[in-house]
């Protein structure tokens, strides 16, 4: 049975010190009932949150530009 809604975590605010719940927002939206040509619908079972992502959330430039 296909779920009717999709949940995704959105990055909404860059942290200055520690990362907390205020930096993310859980968004729930309906899953499209049809797909266009050459589109596929995938379901994630596992997601990796790597340590380097915290570096990219910083306002400081490092080896890459920070995420806006």
- The DSSP H or E segment spanning 48 is none
Report whether 9 contacts 23 (CB < 8 A): no
Average pLDDT, the chain: 80
55 sits in the region (left: phi over 0; alpha: psi -120 to 50; else beta) called alpha
Per-residue pLDDT of 17-50, as tens digits, reads 777 889 889 999 998 888 999 999 888 888 887 7
The confidence score (pLDDT) of residue 38 equals 95
Handedness of CA 6, 28, 11, 49 (dihedral sign): negative
């Amino acid at each position: 049975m296909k779920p009717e809604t999709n949940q995704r975590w959105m990055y909404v605010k860059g942290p200055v010190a520690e990362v907390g719940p205020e930096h993310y927002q859980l968004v729930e939206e309906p899953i499209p009932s049809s797909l266009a040509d050459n589109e596929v619908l995938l379901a994630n079972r596992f997601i990796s949150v790597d340590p380097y992502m915290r570096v990219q959330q910083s306002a400081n430039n490092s080896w890459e530009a920070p995420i806006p």
